[in-house]
Amino acid sequence: MVAKTMDELVSLCKRRGFLFQSNDIYGGIKGLYDYGPMGVELKNNLKQAWWKSMVYERDDTEGLDASILSSPVVLKQSGHEDTFTDPLVDCKSCKSRWRADQLEDSKCPQCKSKDLTDPRPFNLMFKTAIGPVDDGTSFAYLRPETCQQIFTNFKNILDSTSRTIPFGIAQIGKAFRNEITPRNFIFRVREFEQMELEFFVEPGTDEKWHEYWVEKRIKWWIEQGIKKENLKKITVASSELAHYAKKTVDINYLFPHGLEELEGIANRTDFDLGSHTKNQSDFDIHSKVTKNTHSTTKLAVQKLDEKKWFIPFVIEPSAGVDRGILALLNEAYIEENTDKDNKRILLSLKPHLSPIKAAVIPLKKNNQEIVDLSKKIKSNLQKLGLGRVVLENSGNIGKNYRRHDEIGTPICLTVDFETLEDNSVTVRDRDSMKQNRVSIDNLSDYYKSYFN
C-alpha cells in the first residue's frame, strides 16, 4: 500500500525528523526545506547508492564536485541566460503571480479572476554579487543544473585521467531555480540536489547509448524499492524538448499528487561541448550552438583511426535527489492494523537506504551490565561500516519499536536479563515484527545478511 495523501508523508517527515520547512521559526520560506537527522541519513544513502552504481561499479566513469557559483559566460553559452524561463502572469485583481502553463481555465488559482496579464518570460536563475563591490558588473549565477561545470571541466578530466570515449562524468550537488510556484512538498523547490551523469559518446552511437541509459536507470530505481508499476517511461514531445535536446525520455513516477517526472534522460547531442569549445569552426558540429568568442579550450577528442578531431555527443541521465526521496518515502510508507486492533505505521525502506541500520535497546536502563553490553554491541556493529547504528537508552520498548518502524530501521536488538545468561539478544524484524534469539557471537553475520 502506498501513502494515501501527501499530508501523511509531510506529517511523518516532521514528526520523525526527516524534513522541516526551512527558516521555520521565522515563518519559513516557500520552496525551501531542511533535512533533519533521519532525512540527512536517507539522502546520503540514496546519493551513495547512485554513486556506487554510476562510478564504483563501472569502468568508464569519473566523478566531479564543481563549484555552485557559475560565471555568466558559462550560462550564456549554455543558453540559460536567454532561454531558461517560465511564462509568468500577474493577477490584476489580487496581485498574485503564477506560472501561465500551470493555470486551470486561465483563472487565478487564488481569487478565480480571469483578469490576468499576458504571459512574459521569467528567468529562473538566482544571481549573486562576487567580491566586495556590488555595482551589478561582477556577478555569478547559482547553477540551475549541475552539469554545466562537467562540460567546462571536460578537458581537465580527459587530461588528468587518460579516458577515451565512451566515458562519463558523474556529479551530485545542489542546483537552484527561482520557481514561480514551488509546490507539492519537496517535489518542486527552489534549492534541490541533482545526480547527473554526462556520458560522452561518438556521434552515431548516441541513440543506442540513450536507450541503454533509459533502461539502466529504470532498473536502478526499481532496485531502490520503487515498484515497476508506479514508473512510466514518457518520450518528451518534440515541441516540449529543451533547447539542447534531440530526444528526452522522462522516467515519471506516480507521486501522491500525480504522475510526474522523477528523472530525465536526454540526448544532448554535441550542443554543450560545441557551445563551450574554442574554435567552433574547426569542427563539424551537428547542433545549433551558441557562437563562442571567449573559450580558451578545445573540447574535442580525436578519432584514432582517422586522426580527425570531433566533438562528442552527450547522453545525460539527470535525477532529482529530493524527488527520489519523496518517491521512496511514498513507496515505503505502510499503515497497517496490528493484531491488537492498533494501527502501526512503518517505512519499509530497503535496508541500504534506511537512515538507521539497527537500534540496540537495553531493556533495563538502570542495569549497568545490560547497558554496558548494549553499548559494546552497538559499537561492534557500528564498526562494520554499513551505516548508522544507535543505542536507544530512553523510552519503553514498545515506543522504541514504534519509532523505529516509522523511521524504517530494519532491525531492533534487545538486550535483556536472559542475555546475561545465554549470550544472545532478541532481534525484531521491522516488516514481519517476528522476533528471534540470536547469539551475540553470530550477530555480525546476522546483521550483515540484511544488507546483502
Q: Which is nearer to ligand GAP, 16 or 268 (CB)?
A: 268
Sign of CA dihedral 162, 165, 166, 171: positive
CB of 352 to ligand GAP, least distance (A): 21
Residue 272 binds ligand GAP (CB under 6 A): no
Sign of CA dihedral 216, 218, 222, 228: negative
Residue 264 binds ligand GAP (CB under 6 A): yes
Return the bridge partners of 18, or none. Answer: none
Residue 182 to residue 25: CA distance in whole angstroms: 20
Residue 179 binds ligand GAP (CB under 6 A): yes
Residue 177 binds ligand GAP (CB under 6 A): yes
Query: Where does this chain touch ligand GAP (CB under 6 A) — which range of 87-95, 191-199, 278-286, 294-302?
Result: 191-199
Residue 192 binds ligand GAP (CB under 6 A): yes
Nearest to 326 by CA among 418, 445, 230, 212: 230
Q: Which is nearer to ligand GAP, 79 or 264 (CB)?
A: 264
Q: Which is nearer to ligand GAP, 189 or 329 (CB)?
A: 189
Contacts (CB under 6 A) with ligand GAP, residues 305-344: 316, 318-320, 322-323
Residue 352 to residue 122: CA distance in whole angstroms: 41
256: preceding bond cis by omega (within 30 degrees): no
Residue 261 binds ligand GAP (CB under 6 A): yes
Quick one: which of 64, 103, 147, 361 contacts ligand GAP (CB under 6 A)?
Answer: 147
Alpha helices in 284-367 (DSSP H): 321-332
Residue 168 binds ligand GAP (CB under 6 A): no
Residue 57 to residue 218: CA distance in whole angstroms: 17
Q: Which long-range contacts (CB under 8 A, 24 or more apart) does 426-434 make?
A: 428/401, 430/346, 430/348, 430/404, 430/405, 431/346, 431/348, 433/338
Query: Where does this chain touch ligand GAP (CB under 6 A) — which range of 201-209, 256-264, 347-355, 387-395?
Result: 256-264
CB of 297 to ligand GAP, least distance (A): 21
Q: Which residue is nearest to ligand GAP (CB)?
A: 320
Q: Which is nearer to ligand GAP, 47 or 278 (CB)?
A: 47
Residue 77 binds ligand GAP (CB under 6 A): no
- The count of chain residues that interact with ligand GAP, using the rule CB under 6 A, is 19
Residue 64 binds ligand GAP (CB under 6 A): no
Residue 86 binds ligand GAP (CB under 6 A): no
Q: Which long-range contacts (CB under 8 A, 24 or more apart) does 72-75 make?
A: 72/139, 72/140, 72/141, 73/294, 74/148, 74/149, 74/152, 74/276, 75/125, 75/141, 75/143, 75/144, 75/148
Q: Position 357: which residue type?
A: K
Residue 263 binds ligand GAP (CB under 6 A): yes
Residue 152 binds ligand GAP (CB under 6 A): no
Residue 189 binds ligand GAP (CB under 6 A): yes
For residues 135 and 114, the answer to whether their CB atoms sit within 8 Å is: no
For residues 290 and 280, the answer to whether their CB atoms sit within 8 Å is: no
Q: Which is nearer to ligand GAP, 88 or 386 (CB)?
A: 88
Q: Which is nearer to ligand GAP, 272 or 406 (CB)?
A: 272
- What kind and span of H or E run contains 151? helix 148-152
Q: Which is nearer to ligand GAP, 264 or 387 (CB)?
A: 264
For residue 74, how many other CB atoms are within 10 A of its CB? 21
Give the position of cell 523505529: 404
Residue 210 binds ligand GAP (CB under 6 A): no
Binding site for ligand GAP (CB under 6 A): 145, 147, 177, 179, 188-189, 192, 194, 196, 261-264, 316, 318-320, 322-323
